[in-house]
Amino acid sequence: MTLILGLESSCDETAAAIVDGDGRVLAHRLAGQEAAHAPFGGVVPEIAARAHVEALGPLVEAAFADAGVTMAGMDAVAATAGPGLIGGVMVALSMAKGLALSAGKPLIAVNHLEGHALSPRLADRTLAFPYLLLLVSGGHCQLLAVEGVGRYRRLATTIDDAAGEAFDKTAKLLGLGFPGGPKVEQAARDGDPIAVPLPRPLVGSTEPHFSFAGLKSAVLRARDSGRHRAEDVAASFQQAVVDCLIDRTRRVLARVPGATALVVAGGVAANGAVRAALETLAGEARLRFVAPPLWLCTDNAAMIAWAGAERLAAGLTDPLDVPARARWPLDPAGEAVRGAGVKA
């Protein structure tokens, strides 16, 4: 059985995991950095990179111990090579190169977005290509036709903020803490989703893209008006995001001919309201709905190891001088989008 070691350090989670070619997760270790970044209300790149350096070695050793294997038993080592905070990306990629070189194993440079995009196939081995994927994370908000390993067609992207970024900024504005997504979801449980009128940017527009910056400004105004409870703003914000995601996803449903499923992945896919609304949409469209378990939605190394397993099976490995990349679009042919200068 093929065994793959996967490493991840592109944002604020350091992680190491071992999966086999059948999608069994033999080890899955993770070290978050929430406490280190909390005082700043967001991820500080320098602090993140240093924390990755300290955490990664012990996590790799722990993963080997959990799985009862050593590097000699691996068939390949996969690491996120981008996109992400470059100082962090270099940590896992450099370690992967060192391990691959010393053990004489193939190296697989994984695009972090590909890790998210293929994670639903690790969660559900019956999920076949092609599928329509809503990838919603802290850095990205995209609709993709996932047609095969390494074959991703971007149908839509955000013209300003990512969905997770909007959750994080809203949490900060409402003083709910960091990381924002789970805090907003928690506060929203005690709030009224129609209490605060908020915009639904781009809903109804013929362009399929996303926009969340206006929503964030509206949250700021709602807060400053002093007329609303934080719980009501949180619930109304979450409902607005859900409405945007659903409207935009509905618009591209027909653009993946032969789609086997509607799939959601990335950190925001951990949100219960987002999952429930997408499941309803999939039902209306007579599509299967697939969402990875919560631990596989947020950043982890099992999805990187799995993407490595899929790439290895497809004969895709990388030279030891493969670069770390801060920006790395999944679909380089994806048309440039008005206003989308910052995010891939």
Q: Are 296 and 266 in contact (CB under 8 A)?
A: no
User: Is residue 88 near ligand KG4 by the rule CB under 6 A?
Assistant: no
What single letter denotes the amino acid at residue 115? G
Q: Does residue 6 interact with ligand KG4 by CB under 6 A?
A: no
Output 138 or 208, the one with its CB closest to Zn ion: 138
Distance CA 136, CA 278 (A): 12
Place of tokens 């219960």: 272
Residue 264: alpha-carbon gap to chain centroid: 10
Cα–Cα separations (whole angstroms), residue 286 to 144, 226, 260, 262, 289: 19, 44, 10, 10, 9
Judged by beta carbon distances under 5 to 8 A according to partner kind, the member of ligand KG4, Zn ion, none in contact with residue 106 is none
Q: Give me the amino acid identity at 18.
A: I
Residues that bind Zn ion (CB under 5 A): 137, 299
* Calpha distance 150→314 (Å, rounded): 9
Q: Which does 268 bind (CB under 5 to 8 A by kind): Zn ion, ligand KG4, none?
A: ligand KG4
Smallest gap, in angstroms, from Cβ of residue 103 to Zn ion?
27
What CA dihedral angle connects 193, 244, 144 and 141, to 10 degrees? -80
Which residue in the set 18, 74, 198, 268 belongs to the binding site for ligand KG4 (CB under 6 A)? 268
Our CB check for ligand KG4 shows the closer of 137 and 249 to be: 137
Q: Which of 271, 277, 318, 324: binder of ligand KG4 (CB under 6 A)?
A: 271
Q: Is 164 helix (H, G, I), strand (E, B) or coil?
A: helix
Q: Is 185 in the site for ligand KG4 (CB under 6 A)?
A: yes
Per-residue contact flags (x/-) with ligand KG4 for residues 106 to 145, judged by CB under 6 A: -------------------------------xxx------
Q: Which of Zn ion, ligand KG4, none interacts with 180 (beta carbon under 5 to 8 A by kind)?
A: ligand KG4
Smallest CA-to-CA distance from 73 within 61, 64, 82, 84 is with 64
* d(C-alpha 181, C-alpha 304), whole Å: 22
Nearest-angstrom CA–CA distance, 286 and 288 = 7
Rounded to a whole number of angstroms, the minimum distance from the CB of residue 164 to Zn ion is 8
Q: Which is nearer to Zn ion, 80 or 211 (CB)?
A: 80
Q: Which does 269 bind (CB under 5 to 8 A by kind): Zn ion, ligand KG4, none?
A: none
Give the nearest distance from C-beta 184 to Zn ion in angstroms.
Answer: 18
Question: For ligand KG4, which residue of 6, 87, 120, 164 counts as binding (CB under 6 A)?
Answer: 164
- Alpha helix segments (H runs only) across the chain: 34-37, 45-67, 86-103, 112-123, 163-173, 180-188, 213-225, 230-252, 272-284, 294-297, 302-313
Q: Which does 161 bind (CB under 5 to 8 A by kind): ligand KG4, Zn ion, none?
A: none
Q: Which is nearer to ligand KG4, 127 or 273 (CB)?
A: 273
In the window 291-310, what residues touch ligand KG4 (CB under 6 A)?
298-299
Binding residues vs ligand KG4 (CB under 6 A): 11, 137-139, 164-165, 167-168, 179-182, 185, 266-268, 270-271, 298-299
